[in-house]
Amino acid sequence: MGGSSAEREVSLVSGGAVAKALEDEGYQVAMIDVTRELWSQITKADPDVIFNALHGEWGEDGRVQGILDLYGKPYTHSGVMASALAMDKHRAKIVLNSVGINVSKGMLIDREKAARQHAMDPPYVVKPNAQGSSVGVYIVMEGANRPPLDMAMNTKMGDEVLVEEFAPGRELTVAVLNGKALCVTEIVPQASFYDYEAKYADGGSLHEVPADIPDEISEICKDWAEKAHDVLGCRGLTRSDFRFDDKKYEKNASKSDIVNKIVMLELNTQPGMTPTSLAPEQAQHLGMNFGQLCRWIVEDATWPR
């Protein structure tokens, strides 16, 4: 848990919650705040199983997974290939689109160039290609004369950013456990955008579980979440995020027209892990409490992944 990414604080919260839940389940738990000496830290702890509660760079982009593969003990969540691919939003979208999942059209571009002039007609979104939790996301609305001025100085986004068409509509998410979709949650941000604060600040957003949406929309989201989990090669627990444009939805429309009202935003291989996080909330809704979920993840751990 922890580490040095922009999501360090969130990871510490996830790790602390998981550690307490596993202790309550009867496990002996050693908590490791990851440093550059991770190999030595793991060797000193000498675990039977490694629970990966890291978020963001290093923790969910395949690099820590590579160290865990070399270490040779069972670990949780996805392995090197799936983690690296899912974290690379642009390349993941190419794979998702190849199996019939709708994604926003986009391109990779130099951050400073993206800050100088519009890369596409507004509205569009600019975000890091390999970060999570909405860190450094800009929405350039219709009518904007130019991109935000501070984008050029936002080095946390990386040198190369993803520019993609803005997908309007309601924010939906689906957790997948062991390849099976749990249910659909609607996230209702209390601000205009589901950003980092909306995700993690108290009162930042409301979660409706299950989402009050048409059955066919729910089924498409669950089907796409399972398909994405599978095609990216994921393991254990993942969470896929969607936008549903209900303003253009017609109840008796054809299946193809309904599908066109849904866009998949991304897949997260390391969902937040507190009792009130999105994926654990869905598991709780289906009768699996937080401790049971953490136990399942530990028992699912294997080497290699």
Catalytic annotation on 299? no
Pairing relation of β-strands 262-268 and 237-244? Answer: antiparallel
Q: Is 241 a catalytic residue?
A: yes
Query: Which class for 69: exposed (0-12), middle (13-18), buried (19 or more C-beta within 10 A)?
Result: middle
**Of 111, 239, 243, 295, which residue is the catalytic one?**
239
Structure tokens at 43: 């060797």
Which residue in 138, 196, 200, 249 is the catalytic one?
200
Residue 110 among the catalytic residues: no
- Of all helices (H) and strands (E), which one includes residue 36? none
Assigned token pair, 289: 């409490």
User: How far is it, in rounded angstroms, from Cα 56 to Cα 239?
Assistant: 14
Q: Say which of 171, 186, 195, 241 is annotated catalytic.
A: 241
Catalytic residue among 14, 78, 129, 133: 133
SS3 state at 241: strand
Selected catalytic residue, list 62, 266, 281, 295: 266
In the chain, beta strands by DSSP E: 106-110, 124-128, 138-140, 160-165, 170-177, 180-189, 205-208, 237-244, 262-268
Contact between 56 and 131 (Cβ < 8 Å):
yes
Identified catalytic residue from 2, 3, 7, 60? 7
Is 266 annotated as catalytic? yes
Tell me which of 11, 240, 268, 277 is the catalytic residue. Answer: 268
- Amino acid occupying residue 14: S
**Quick check: is 136 catalytic?**
no
Strand order across the 170-177 sheet:
205-208, 180-189, 170-177, 237-244, 262-268
Q: Count the Cβ atoms, other than its own, within 10 Å of residue 145.
A: 6
* Strand bridging mode 106-110 / 262-268: unpaired
268 noted as active-site residue: yes
Active-site residue, from 186, 272, 277, 295: 272
Known catalytic residues are 7, 133, 200, 239, 241, 266, 268, 272
